[in-house]
Amino acid sequence: MSLRDRIIEADDIGKELLEVPQWGITLEMRTMSAIQRSRMLQICTTDDGAVDLDQLYPMLCIATVFDPESGEQVFSEEDIGVLQEKSAAALEFVATRAMEMSGMTAKAVDDEGKDS
């Protein structure tokens, strides 16, 4: 099998369980695909290039939160308003882990470099 084929066939979407104490539940978190991350960043970037945090954290939850029992995505874009009304601490907790898992933080980049 060629290197290209091995890369294409690799199951590289990470999954982990995350306990969210504020909600009293455990979620399945998944890394975003490259296209999901690009689309989310386009939606969450304002015309002047700033990040719209009102959109970013809910969008991160929408893209990465799954039901650990069914494997189904928990939220859709229709839930942005509902998520914006949830605890800031809980939403930031989930969003921060989503960013770390998807390589969107300086810490995630540093951690990846340590593995090589």
pLDDT at residue 102 above 50? yes
Average pLDDT over residues 104-111: 57
pLDDT at 53: 86
pLDDT in tens, 10-46: 999 999 999 999 999 999 999 999 999 999 889 899 9
Which is more confident, 107 or 103?
103
b or e along 30-60 (b: 16 or more beta carbons within 10 Å of the residue's beta carbon)?
Answer: bbbeeebbeebeeebeeeeeeeeeebbbbbb
Question: How would you classify residue 71: left for phi > 0, otherwise alpha for psi between -120 and 50, otherwise beta?
Answer: left
